[in-house]
Structure 1
Amino acid sequence: MNMSGLLSALILLIIQGSLAQHVRVEPEVVSYPGQTVTLRCQFQNPGATQLTQVSWIFEPTNGDRTNIAVFHPSFGANYPTISPVSGRVSFVTDPPSLENPSIKIREVKMTDEGRYICEYATYPSGNEQGVTSLIMLAKPKNLATKVTVPAGKTPVIVARCESSNGRPAATISWSTALNGNVTTPIETKNPDNTITVQSVYMLAPQPSDNGKDISCVVSHRTMTQPETFPMKLVVEYPPRVQIVGYDNNWYRGRTSAFLTCQADGNPSPTTVTWKTLSGLMPETVQVQENRLAVQKVDDTLNTTFICEVKNRLGYGRDQISVFVREQAPPSSNAGVIAGVIIACILAISLLAVLIYFLVFYNRRQQHGYRGTGKPTGAPYDSFTRLFGSAKSSKNGNGNNNTPIYRGEMGLNEKTANQGMHPGGVALLETTHTQTAEDILLSREMDEVERKKFDELEEEDERYDHFGGGGPILQLRPHNDDLDDDMESQRDGSVISRTAVYV
């Protein structure tokens, strides 16, 4: 088509549209069965156009046009009796008028759906009209059913879904994890102009599909949300049987051994039968429905046990061969080894924690000590008490009169000098390596040793003023040329550094 042809067609459509705009109607009216529907019509701005008559024409979806109402200013209103809405249609106003020829239809039916044409007869322009589409809605009745089927390899219908007597046609869908097929929905038009939609779900059912979920979902214009019908498939199959309980560790003398016959079927199994391949059930075996209880294992159990289960569709069976061992297999010591390893780890961890706290406490005790190992300004401290005076010398310039106690403090000591206190107390001068335990003990014994030292001082004073009796020790003159092993004392006597005095 050339450019001029397109332009002419466009102009014609514009003219037709402008003419059609003179008759004002509603393009679409929606109603439900049993209601009263109003179809409005009005001729706009007639101007010099003379209106002579108005008619309403019904055009069904499939059928011929039919006049249903006519109004003439001189002859009045007329309702043809052959119309499908005869007796239910009338003009809204009484008497009607050409300015407002709207009509109403009572108790509308589904068959009333179609096109309604309001047509004016005018002079001099001729007939002009407007078209209203009446859409009838009908809420459908929805239903879904499951179909009981036997297990098999051929696809069959396992579920149905139907939406009946709806207008317009409903939409049906399926929701499931099954690997089946959905057939094309079948639509059937009913005599009352409603539509029934049917859909089915097909599947080659297996025993494992029994009880699986499947849902039919129906959507329709009259429903605010889709309607869902959940179902569970019903697949029938003969019993599936399995014997459990044998651990391959039946040895002579074992007690409390069991075999259980597990069966699954639809419909549920009705009978359970135990047999042996030899035909005789051992005397030590008790049959308890689907369970075999062995009181004591012996050689008669070296056989094959068979379990048969039946239901309405058939039966299933399973068998297991038992081998009786001479004695129980040695128990695994893996648990003992694991327990020993865990105990060792815990012991090592505990020892590490103990050492850490001892070292930490030792460092706190030594806090503030200098390189000599003695705290500043401590005239009488635990270090001196434990290790003796640092002023003792080979030539006797110092002396070892500080009391040191060996057995009570548990020190690893080596005798360096020995002497006799004037009060007759044997003294030992010791040297050893300081430990955390020494420091802890020295703190606890501090007050006791001070009291003992004071008592020794008092004895010294009493000895110096003693006036009676003979000398306790035999004295010899002090000599600068004494042996290195000897050391002079305050009372003029000499004692050996290495000898032990009791």
Structure 2
Amino acid sequence: MAMLASIWIVLLAVTIQDGDGQVVQMDSIKSGFVGSQVELRCVFLNSNPPVKISQVTWQKYLNGTKQNVAIANPSLGVSVLPPFKERVTFKQPAVRHRTPSLEDTTIMFSNLRLSDEAAYICEYTTFPAGNRENMVNLTVYARPMTRISLTTPTIVARATKRKMTVATCVSANGKPPSVIKWETRLKGEPTFQETRNVNGTMTVRSNYLVVPGRETHKQKLTCIVTYRNERLTDSVILNVQYEPEVVIEGFDGNWYLNRQDVSLTCNADANPPVTVYQWKLLNGSLPSTVEIRNNSLMFKGPVTYDLAGTYVCDATNSIGTRTGLVDVNVTEPWHDEIKATRYTTTEFPSNPSPWDTQTPQQQHNAGAVIGGAVGGVVLLASAAALLFVFLRRRQRTFKGDYSTKKHVFGNGYSKAGGLPANHPIPKNLQYPDDSDDEKKPAQIGVSGGFEASERDFGGDVEESKRPYFTVDEGESRDYDERTLAFQYDPQQEIADDMVSQTDGSVISKKEWYV
């Protein structure tokens, strides 16, 4: 058949004519859909002078066999043979006249059938030129019938979690065959199957397999069928039935003693909806203060330790029963007050802690106590700092630099040159025992003389004659356990231009008034 069609296509591409110029003109290819109408053109170009047309014959050529379709004869008229009698006619009315005009013998095919697909020959018989003919290939297409359907109106999700066919898309009796694709958000696996029918058409079938569950419920599946240059679509919505998925809400981890208005709610996602809710408490019975309202437990009065335990909710629909549970523990109010500081207010909007329930006046009083304590600490710190500064400043009673000091009894910090000689040391100086770091001289009565000085030192004259040194506080550690070789010189006297200091040292008047 294919080889024959190729030969006829080549023949149709060549203009058939003789030496006098007779030509049969036809289309090389024609097509139509099953049930439609198609026109097969055939025109005879006569020569000048024209030849006589004796007869025109249309023939169906299939698998090497010719079959007459229609005949037009100037003397006998027009004849259409079965099985084309009701579906084939000559287009030009003049062909059907008693004196017909046979130059245009185009025929009309109506209500095409798949069996009409073949090559058709238009043959002219002339005198004296002989026979002239040409051929057209007719292709008949079959538009498929496409449908998409659910495997069953209602799909039940099973506990086995196995893949099953949820939808089927079929493109039946198509010629040429269709191409099927699926469009959906579901994760699934499509299968494809092609079947050749007796009449030469093809049926394409595709199943879509998924694991049914609550996440597949109400999901959309779209089947896209591409046939030649046409695109056909059809969709279904999955109806999946599944057991309840149960969650108990209401316990926020902040059920403290005497808290009010607490409750538990059993929420269940199910298809079809849950018809029965059952509450129970593990290892015990529900508290006497609880009230059951539909799918909720309402606890009357304040929270007590009797409310603690594991609460169980059984939710049942026509597919099955599933269970949810929650562990409830009751805590002390102070514990929850600390806990509340670790959460934002949006986490416990309906159950404030005891701290949040205090009046503004109570919160003001608490703030005043805290503020007073802080103020007392600051005041004590300030007093200690002032005392330290005062004690430090007592060591500095002169203007100028300590390097200018000269003690009555020599020390390593005296300026070069020492004190002027031949001036007796005053006998009215006394060194009371008021400090281990620095002896402070004090005036005593002249009548007491040096003996009074001895009495003040406990009668230990030798101890009173030890040399005394003024050493800076930062350097005093360097002189621990050190023996300083300075001798007491009772002959030293204070010069006229020197001023005595309270720590036993002397300084020049020039330095003093700087």
Q: Where do residues 49-60 of structure 1 align in structure 2 (5 Å cutoff)?
A: 52-59=54-61
* Equivalence for 1:215: 222
> Aligned with 1:178: secondary structure?
coil
Q: Is the 8 A contact 1:181 1:201 kept in 2?
A: yes
- Structure 1 CA distance for aligned equivalents of residues 11 and 107 of structure 2: 28
Structure 1 CA distance for aligned equivalents of residues 167 and 316 of structure 2: 28
Between the aligned partners of 1:59 and 1:153, the Cα distance in structure 2 is: 59
Residue 26 of structure 2 is aligned to residue 25 of structure 1 = yes
- Aligned equivalent of 2:184: 176
One-letter code aligned to 1:145: S
TM-score, normalised with respect to structure 1: 0.54
- Distance, in Å, in 1 between the alignment partners of 2:10 and 2:304 is 107
Q: What does residue 115 of structure 1 align with?
A: 119
Which of the residues 154, 157, 169 maps onto 2:162? 154
Q: Is the 8 A contact 1:49 1:125 kept in 2?
A: no
C-alpha distance in structure 2 between counterparts of 1:118 and 1:182, whole Å: 49
* Alignment-derived partner of residue 304 in structure 1: 310
- Answer whether contact 1:68 1:85 (CA < 8 A) is retained: yes
Change (3 A) 1:85 1:53: same
More displaced 10-residue stretch of structure 1: 201-210 or 87-96:
87-96
How many pairs align? 318
Quick one: structure 1 residues 137 and 204, their matched pair in 2 at CA, closer, same or farther if it must change by over 3 Å?
same
Distance 1:115 1:255 in 2: 93
How far did 1:206 drift?
A: 2.9
For residues 262-273 of structure 1, the aligned pairs below 5 Å read 262-273=267-278
SS in 1 for 2:248: strand
TM-score by length of 2: 0.53
Is the aligned partner of 1:105 residue 2:113? no
The corresponding residue for 1:458 is none
Q: Is the 8 A contact 2:123 2:131 kept in 1?
A: no
Residue equivalent to 1:447:
none
Offset at 1:32?
5.5
Aligned partner of 2:292 in structure 1 is: 287
Deviation digits for residues 104-142 of structure 1 (CA, Å, limit 9, x no counterpart)? 23454555444333234567675632114153565x554
- Write the mapping of 1:412-427 to structure 2, written as runs, cut at 5 A: none
Q: Residues 75, 291 of structure 1: CA spacing in aligned structure 2 closer, same or farther, 3 A cutoff?
A: same
Report the AA paired with residue 18 of structure 1.
V
Q: Is this contact kept in 1: 2:248–2:313, CA < 8 A?
A: yes
The equivalent residue for 2:403 is none
SS at match of 1:324: coil
Provide, for residues 22-66 of structure 1, a one-character-per-residue CA deviation record: whole Å limited to 9, x for no partner.
Answer: 432223445456655432202345679876543212357x99652
Cα distance 1:175–1:230, how it changes in 2: closer, same or farther (>3 A)?
same
- What letter is aligned with 2:165? I
Equivalent residue runs for 1:298-447 within 5 Å: 298-328=304-334, 329-331=336-338
Give yes or no for contact 2:121–2:133 (8 Å, CA) kept in 1: no
Residues 244, 274 of structure 2: 8 Å contact kept = yes
> Which one-letter code corresponds to 1:161 in the other structure?
C
Whether the 8 Å CA contact 1:206–1:235 is kept in 2: the answer is yes
Judging changes above 3 Å, is the alpha-carbon distance between structure 1 residues 250 and 159 closer, same or farther for their aligned structure 2 residues?
same
Task: Please say if residues 179 and 226 of structure 2, whose CA atoms lie closer than 8 Å, have aligned partners that are also in contact.
Answer: yes
Name 2:212's counterpart in structure 1: 205
The residue identity in structure 2 corresponding to 1:235 is V
- Residue from 248, 255, 260 that aligns with 2:253: 248
Deviations 1:441-476 (A, max 9, x none): xxxxxxxxxxxxxxxxxxxxxxxxxxxxxxxxxxxx
CA drift of 1:316 comes to 0.4
User: Unpaired runs of 5+ in structure 2?
Assistant: 1-7, 18-22, 346-514
The structure-2 alpha-carbon separation of the partners of 1:276 and 1:188, relative to structure 1 and needing over 3 Å to count, comes to farther
CA contact (8 A) 1:85 1:112 kept: no
Which letter maps to 1:202? L
SS of the equivalent of 2:261 reads: strand
Alpha-carbon distance change, 175 to 35 in structure 1, aligned in 2, over 3 angstroms: closer
Q: Tell me: CA distance 1:280–1:89, structure 2 relative to 1, closer, same or farther (3 Å).
A: same
Q: Check 1:20–1:163 CA distance in 2 against 1; reply closer, same or farther (3 A cut).
A: farther
Residue 235 of structure 2 corresponds to: 230
Corresponding position of 2:149: 145
Would the alpha carbon gap of residues 68 and 13 (structure 1) be closer, same or farther in structure 2, given more than 3 Å must change?
closer
Taking structure 1 as reference, are residues 33 and 135 closer, same or farther at Cα in structure 2, changes over 3 Å only? closer
- The alpha-carbon distance between structure 1 residues 167 and 15, as it changes in their structure 2 partners (threshold 3 A), is closer
The question of whether the paired residues in 1 share the 8 Å contact of 2:113 and 2:140 is answered with no
% identical equivalent positions: 32
Kindly indicate whether the alpha-carbon contact (under 8 Å) linking 2:276 and 2:317 is maintained by their aligned counterparts in 1. yes
Distance 1:63 1:180 in 2: 50
The question of whether the paired residues in 1 share the 8 Å contact of 2:175 and 2:202 is answered with yes
Change (3 A) 1:164 1:15: closer
8 A contact 2:192–2:204 mirrored in 1 = no
Distance 1:245 1:268 in 2: 21
- 1:235 shift after superposition: 2.1
Distance 1:125 1:155 in 2: 72
* Conservation of the 8 A alpha-carbon contact between 2:194 and 2:202: no
* Offset, 1:314: 0.9
Q: Is the 8 A contact 2:312 2:324 kept in 1?
A: yes
Letter in 2 for 1:278: N
Find the aligned partners of 2:244 and 2:341 in 1 and give their Cα distance: 43
> Residues 270 and 85 (structure 1 numbering): CA distance in 2 closer, same or farther, change over 3 Å?
same
Kept in 2: contact 1:146–1:234 (CA 8 A): no
Change (3 A) 1:254 1:310: same
Whether the aligned pair in 2 keeps the contact of 1:25 and 1:132 (CA below 8 Å) is no
Aligned to 1:471: none
**Deviation of the 1:76 alpha carbon:** 4.0
Match of 1:259 in 2: 264
Q: What displacement does 1:161 show?
A: 2.5
